Structure 1
Amino acid sequence: MKNLLMACFILAVASCSTAQMSYSSKNKKAIALFEEGRAEPSKSVDPKTHGPNYAAGIALLEKALEKDPNFWEAHMVEAEMYEELNQPYKAIEHYRKAIAINPNPTSGGAVYFYLGTLEYTIGEYENAVKSLTTFTQAKGAHPENIARAKQLIDDCSFAIEAMKNPTQFKPVNLGPGVNTKDPEYFPTITVDGKTLLFTRLIDDKRVKGSYQKQEDFYVSNLSTFNTWETAVPMPKNINTVNNEGAPTISADGRNLIFVACSDESGINYGENRKGKGSCDLFYTKRLGNQWVDPVNLPGAINTGNWESQPSLSADGKTLYFVRKVMSRNGRPDSDIYFSTLKEDGSWDTPVRLPNTINTPYMEESVLIHPDGKTLYFSSQGHPGMGGLDIFVSRMNEKGEWGKPENLGYPINTSADENSLLVSADGEIAFFASDREGGFGDLDIYYFVMPEKFRPVKTLYFDGLVFDAVTKKPLAGKFSLVNIKTGVEVIKSEADQVNGTFTVSLPLNEEYALSVSYPGYTFYSQNFNMTVADNQESFHMDVPMNPIDEAGPATALRNVFFDLGKATLRPESYVELNKLRDLLKANPAIKIEIGGHTDTRGDAADNLKLSEARAKSVKDYLIEQGIETSRLSSKGYGESIPIFTDEAIAKMTKESEKEKAHQENRRTEYKILK
C-alpha cells in the first residue's frame, strides 16, 4: 500500500509536469534534473544489484536540490529511492526535509505514515509515535494504513517499556570452530548437545551467473574441552551446488529434514532431486556413519509454494514449518504450519497454526522445543521492537497455544531476530547475528536463556539394544509411554548398524519402555526420568533374548494393577498388545503367564492374588484373538522373589527397599513350546 501511494504521488508529479502545471520549484534546471532523476531507475540497470538504477536517479535528484534546496518534491522522490535501496536513515532525512518545507506534501498525510514506519524500523520509537499519530489525525488518511499505524504505535509503546526493563543478555561467540568470514546461521543441535549442524553461505565457482555463492551444511562436535571443533561439510550427496539450508535434526542425530531450492530452471534441486515449488523440504537418514541420498519429503507438505525452516518434534511425529505465499495485496506473507507423521511414513495434510500464533504479517523461524509444549518463533505481527522479533508460546493441557510472549530487549531489537535454537535443558539458546566483534558476516552465538522464557527441562535417554547371548547390536523398535497419561510419547528404532538410540524426555515423569525385534522376546521396563543435578542423561541398555523354549521368563514390567486387585489398568494395554503381536507373529509359540507378589502380607492371600492377576492377563490375550490352547496361567505368590527378605533387610535406604519389593511384584511370561 505504501509503495502504491508513493507511485501515485510520483505519477501525480509527472502529470503536473505534462500538463505544464508548476512544481514548488521555479528553477528550470532543477526541474529538468528532477524529471531526469525520477525517470532514471527505469532507464538503466544498477551494476551491483542488477535492478533499477536508483543510485543514478539519486545522483540527479541531488543535483536538482543543489539548484533549489527547497524543492520538496525532489526530497520526497529521493526518500522513496533510498527506501528502495534499504537505506532508512537517508530516507528519513529527506522525508523530514520535505515536511520542513511543506508540512503536507502528500494527500491524506501519507508522508507521516512513511516517516513513522521508518522511524519505528530503526528504533526511534518516540519520534515514530509522533509521526504516526499525526498521520492518524490527518484528513483523508487511508483506513488500512490507519489500522497499521495504530498497531505500530502500540508496538512503539511496548518497545519503549521493554528498553526501560531490559532482559539479561550476554551473547558469546561460538568461536572459530564454527564461525568464519562467511555467514553462518540456522543452527540445529542433537538432544545431547554435542553435535551442531548449521548453514553456511560459501563462495562456489560452480554456480551459474554473477552471484557465485550457495548454501551448504556444516557439522561441528563439542570437544572434551567444551569447545566446538572445526566444522566439516556434510557429504556430497547432501551438499550440492544448489542451496541447502534451515536444517532440523532428530534427537538422536540420525534423521535430517532440510530445505533445498531449485536453480534458475525451477526444476533442478540438486543431483537426483525433484521438487514441487521454488523451495521444498527434503529428508535423509543416517545408517551408522553413512547418510542416504535425500528424497523429497513424502506426503502432503511440499506444494508449489515456498516451504522452509522445518522443526521436528522430539518424538519425530510432528513437523512444524513455514510456508510463504503472496497475500491478497501482493505482499509476501508467511505462516507457520504443522503436519503429523502417518503410519506409512508419509506426512499428513498440513494445518495452519491458529491466529494466536499467525498474524497477517510475517511469521518465520519456528522451533518446537524437545519438551513438545514450548514454541519459539519470529514474527512481525505481534507487539515488538521492529522487524522480526522472537516470541515464545506454551501449549496448555487442552493442546491450545497460549498468547505469545516477546523475549524482550535486548534479545530483540529494531532489526530482524530469528533462527533461535534452545537446548534440551532450556538453559542455553543459540542464534545468528552480524553484531560487531564477530569473525565476519553472520556468526552463531549462545546466551543463557532468562528463567521466565525457559521450556520444561528436558534431558536425553539413551542406550544400546543388543542380543543378550551374542552381544550383537540390534535395530530394535521401541516405544515410550507416559504411564500417568497413557500417551505414547516416543515411537522409534535403534540404529540399524550399531544398535544405539537417543531420545529426549521431560524430567520427573514416569515412562514405560517396550522394545521389540523379530525373533526375540520383547523387552520391557519402566522408570522415572529423574537425574542428579550434574547428570546429563538417563542411560539404559536393552538386552534382547532370542525366542527359545529354554530361555528365561520375560518380565512384563509395564503391566499394572491397582493395589490388592487383579483388574488391569488401561496403561497396561500397550505392553500386552506387544505380547499379542509377538504371539501372532509366531503362531507355534505356547506360553505360561506367571504372577508374582512381594513377601509382605499373608502368603495365602498373595498366592490367590497372583493367580488372579496372571489369569487377567491370559483373559485379555484371549479377547485379543489368541487361542486359549496356547496360553496357561499360574500364580507363584511370594515363592520366587528376585530379592530375598535377607537381601532387602541389608539395604540402607527405604527407597531401595521399596524398589526391591516392586521388582518382586511382577507379571512374567515364559515360552513353553
Structure 2
Amino acid sequence: MYKLSILFLSLLFSCASYTQGGSWGTKNKKAIKLVEQGMAAANEIDFVTGLPNYGAAIPYFDKAIAKDENFIDAYIIKADYATRIGKHDMAITAYKKAIEINPEASSTGYIYFDLSLLEWNYGAYADALVHAKKFITYKNANPESVKEAMWLIKNCEFAVEAIKNPVPFDPKNVGAGVNSEDPEYFPTLTVDEKQLLYTRRVTSSNGYQQEDFFVSTDKNGYWNTGEPMPPNINTFNNEGAPTFAPDGRTLIFVGCIDPRYGYGEGRRGYGSCDLFVTEKVGEKWLDPINLPGAVNSKHWETQPSLSSDGKSLYFIRGNVRSSGGRNKRNGDIYVSKKQADGFWGMPEKLPDNINTPDSESSVLIHPDGKTLYFASNGHVGMGGYDLYMTTLQPDGSWSDPKNLGYPINTSNNENSLLVFASGEIAIFGSDREGGFGDLDLYSFEMPKSIRPTRTIYMTGTVFDDKTDKKLEAEFSLIDLETDTEVIRSYSDRVNGAFLVTLPINRDYALIVNKDGYNPYSVHFNLRVPENSNEPYHRDVPLVPIESDAPVELANVFFDLGSHVLRKESFVELNKFVDFLNKYPKINVELQGHTDAQGDDESNMTLSDNRAKSVRTYLISKGISAERLTAKGYGETQPNTITTAEGKKVRLTEEYINGLPENEQKAAHQLNRRTMYKVIK
C-alpha cells in the first residue's frame, strides 16, 4: 500500500517535467510572472519548519489562474505545492482542472499517476481506479510508476467491493477512565478481562514526550481511571506495547533508549528498542530485566504478543531497507519459542504470505493459540495500515491473510487491535472524530466472519490438602483429543492462584506436580452455555507423599466393560512414571474400582484386570515390578465427592438412586476410577 511519501517520488518531477525548456502553456506574461514569483516565494525557507515555504506560493498561482483560467502549468504546480503542505483536496481539484484543460498534456501521463495516488490515499477509490488505469496506457510512462499503479489498481478494486459489502461495525469510545487528551494505544488485557493495560504518550512540563503504561480496572462494565504503572516499570524513557502472560503475573513490554539518557536504571539493551520482562509476585511487580534468550538484537524489537500457553512470543522486528533510492524503516513479524531452560530461542520470521516487502505491525496472537491478527501496509486493502487475520493450520503453515473489511479498515491507518478471549469484543486505537484527544481506544463487536475460536478462562488455587497452605506448583493442561500439552505454567508462589485461557468444547486433563506431594489429576470437558463467559473453576488439593490416602489417576480411561487402556491414558501414566522415577523408594498399590451396576463378581474381576493393565503399562516403561501391586475393589469402595454446597458424600448405590435421573449416569461414572496408594 501507499503512504504519502510515495507521492513525493513522482512530484519531484511535476513542475520541471512539464515546463522544461522554459516553455509555458500561456502567452499571458503577467500570469507567467506570477507563477515564477510563486516558485521564488517557495524557495524562501520557513524559519519555523526549516522547509521551503510552499504555502506562500499558492496565492501567486491563484492570481495567475485568474489572469488565464486555462493556464495548465499553474494548476499542476499548485497541485504539487498543495500536496507538499497537506492541502490534498486543493491538490486533487487542481489536477482535475489540468486534465479538464488538456487530457493529454503529458506524454508520460504523470498527472494521472499523481492524481490517482492522492485519491487513493484519501479514499476516493473509484476515481483513483479510473486515473491509475489511464496512466498505465501511456507508452512513455515510468516503468517503476507503472508497477506501483498496477498494485494501486488491485487495491482500488478491492476497496470498491469492500465498500459495497461492509461488515457490521459500531465502535464505542471506552470512556474517560482510559482516554485523555494524550494518545492512547496498544491495549492488552488480563484474561479475566478485569484489567486493561495500555500505552499513553505523555508530555512533561518541559515539553518532552515519552510513553508510559497505564492500567484501568473494570467496575461493573466501566473502566476506572487509569493509573500509571509503578516507577520501576515506567521510566523517563519509552515503555510501550505490553503483553500479559495468560495468568496476568508476567508482563513483556518494549523499552526504548533515548540517546540523551540511555535506558532506565538497571536496564541494558542490544538495540534502540528491546523487549523486557517483569513478574508480579503477590501484589508487587519485580524490576524488569532484558528478555532472556535470543529475541533482542541490534535491530529494534517491539509490539510483543504472548501465546496463551506461554510458549510462543510473536513480535515485530524492525530494520532499515533500501528501496528505490530511499531507506525505509520496515517491520516484520517474528516468533520465538520458549526453551526448556526458560530462555527464548532464535526467532523465526513468519512466511512471505504474511510478511511483505513493506511493513507489518501490531501483531496479536489470540488466546485460542491459532488466530493471528496484525496490521500491514503491504497487503491488498483500503489504504495506509489495514488490519488482517491469519490462522495457523494443522500442518504448521499460516493461511493467507484476510482483510478485516470495511469500515473496520479505511483509507487511514488502523492498528493496535485487541480481541477478547470470547472473540466477541475487540478494542482498537483510532483518531476518529469525537474522541477525547489524539488517538483514543474504542471497543466494538467483532463481526462473526472474523472471530477466532471462542475461549474462556479457568481459575484455581493450589493448596496443601492437610494444612490448607497455598502452594506454588507446576501444572499442565493436555488436550485429550490431540494428546498435546496446551498449557504449562506455575501457580503463584504467594497465594497459590493460577489462571489460564482455553478453547471451549474440548476435553482436557489437568495434572499438577510439586516436590513432596502426590501428583494431582482431573479431566473435564470445557462445555459452557452459549454466550456465557463465566470462568471454569477448579481448586487443587495436593496430598503429601507421606499420606496413606488413596490418590486418583483421573485421566486413565477404559472402554465400557473393557480392561484395555485407551490411548488418552498414556499422558497421565507417563507423568506417573516420571513421579515414580523421581521417588525410587516409593512402592504403590494400584487400585481398580467400578460402579455398582452389574453383578458383584464381574465388577470385581473387571476392576482387578484394570489395575493389572495399569501395572503392566508401568512395568513396560521401566518401573520395577517389585514396586507395584495391583488389586481390584469392584464396587465395594464408592467414591467420596464434595457437593456444590461443600458437603462430602459417598456415592453409594442408595445415594445415586436418590438423585434425579439425569444426574445418575455421571455419578456412576465417578465411581469408575483408577487410584493408587503409597504403601512404602
Q: Same fold (TM over 0.5)?
A: yes
AA aligned opposite 1:246: A
Alignment deviations for residues 365-392 of structure 1 (CA, whole Å, 9 cap, x no partner): 1211111222222222333222222222
2:362 maps to what in 1?
A: 365
2:580 maps to what in 1?
A: 583
Residue 214 (structure 1) aligned with residue 210 (structure 2): yes
Q: Are the structure 2 counterparts of residues 78 and 271 from structure 1 closer, same or farther at C-alpha, using a change threshold of 3 Å?
A: farther
1:240 maps to what in 2?
A: 235
In 1, Cα distance between equivalents of 2:163 and 2:339: 46
- Displacement after TM superposition at 1:85 (Å): 4.2
Q: Is the 8 A contact 1:30 1:68 kept in 2?
A: no
AA aligned opposite 1:293: D
Q: Is the 8 A contact 1:204 1:241 kept in 2?
A: no
1:292 maps to what in 2?
A: 286
Q: Is the 8 A contact 2:197 2:214 kept in 1?
A: yes
- Displacement after TM superposition at 1:230 (Å): 1.1
- Displacement after TM superposition at 1:78 (Å): 5.0
Residue 351 (structure 1) aligned with residue 359 (structure 2): no
In 2, Cα distance between equivalents of 1:167 and 1:337: 30
Q: Is the 8 A contact 1:197 1:218 kept in 2?
A: yes
Q: Give the 3-state SS of the residue equivalent to 2:580 in structure 1.
A: helix
Alignment deviations for residues 602-641 of structure 1 (CA, whole Å, 9 cap, x no partner): 4333333333332333333334343333322222222222
Q: Is the 8 A contact 1:38 1:77 kept in 2?
A: no
In 1, Cα distance between equivalents of 2:604 and 2:574: 26
Q: Give the 3-state SS of the residue equivalent to 2:110 in structure 1.
A: helix
In 2, Cα distance between equivalents of 1:181 and 1:233: 16
AA aligned opposite 1:544: L
In 2, Cα distance between equivalents of 1:387 and 1:46: 31
Alignment deviations for residues 116-173 of structure 1 (CA, whole Å, 9 cap, x no partner): 0110111111211111111111122233332332232232222223223322222111
Q: Where in structure 2 are the equivalents of 1:134-533 lying within 5 Å?
A: 134-205=134-205, 212-223=208-219, 225-264=220-259, 268-329=262-323, 330-533=327-530
2:642 maps to what in 1?
A: none
Q: Is the 8 A contact 1:173 1:444 kept in 2?
A: yes
Q: Is the 8 A contact 1:560 1:569 kept in 2?
A: yes
- Displacement after TM superposition at 1:517 (Å): 1.3
1:95 maps to what in 2?
A: 95
Q: Are the structure 2 counterparts of residues 108 and 275 from structure 1 closer, same or farther at C-alpha, using a change threshold of 3 Å?
A: farther
Residue 539 (structure 1) aligned with residue 537 (structure 2): yes
AA aligned opposite 1:242: N
In 1, Cα distance between equivalents of 2:348 and 2:79: 41
- Displacement after TM superposition at 1:81 (Å): 4.6
In 2, Cα distance between equivalents of 1:570 and 1:126: 59
Q: Give the 3-state SS of the residue equivalent to 1:526 in structure 2.
A: strand
In 1, Cα distance between equivalents of 2:492 and 2:86: 49
Q: Is the 8 A contact 1:393 1:402 kept in 2?
A: yes
Q: Is the 8 A contact 2:211 2:238 kept in 1?
A: yes
AA aligned opposite 1:608: T
Q: Which moved more, 1:490-499 or 1:385-394?
A: 385-394
Correspondent of 1:658 among 641, 646, 665: 665
AA aligned opposite 1:647: Y
2:634 maps to what in 1?
A: 637
2:563 maps to what in 1?
A: 566
- Displacement after TM superposition at 1:326 (Å): 3.0
Q: Give the 3-state SS of the residue equivalent to 1:392 in structure 2.
A: strand
TM-score by length of 1: 0.91
Instruction: Kindly report the root-mean-square deviation, in angstroms, between the aligned alpha carbons of the 2 structures.
Output: 2.6
Q: Give the 3-state SS of the residue equivalent to 2:108 in structure 1.
A: helix
User: Which stretches in structure 2 are left out of the alignment for 5+ residues?
Assistant: 1-5, 640-650
Q: Is the 8 A contact 1:255 1:284 kept in 2?
A: yes
Correspondent of 1:601 among 595, 598, 603: 598
- Displacement after TM superposition at 1:68 (Å): 6.2
User: Which stretches in structure 1 are left out of the alignment for 5+ residues?
Assistant: none
Alignment deviations for residues 311-358 of structure 1 (CA, whole Å, 9 cap, x no partner): 111111112222223334133332222222111112222222223323
In 2, Cα distance between equivalents of 1:322 and 1:592: 53
Q: Are the structure 2 counterparts of residues 261 and 113 from structure 1 closer, same or farther at C-alpha, using a change threshold of 3 Å?
A: same
Q: Is the 8 A contact 2:373 2:417 kept in 1?
A: yes
Residue 667 (structure 1) aligned with residue 674 (structure 2): yes
- Displacement after TM superposition at 1:205 (Å): 4.0
1:121 maps to what in 2?
A: 121
Q: Are the structure 2 counterparts of residues 633 and 81 from structure 1 closer, same or farther at C-alpha, using a change threshold of 3 Å?
A: farther
Alignment deviations for residues 170-203 of structure 1 (CA, whole Å, 9 cap, x no partner): 2111111111111111111111211111111111
In 2, Cα distance between equivalents of 1:88 and 1:299: 47
Percent identity between the aligned chains? 48
Q: Is the 8 A contact 1:182 1:442 kept in 2?
A: yes
Q: Is the 8 A contact 1:33 1:61 kept in 2?
A: no
- Displacement after TM superposition at 1:396 (Å): 3.6
Q: Is the 8 A contact 1:184 1:201 kept in 2?
A: yes
- Displacement after TM superposition at 1:552 (Å): 0.7
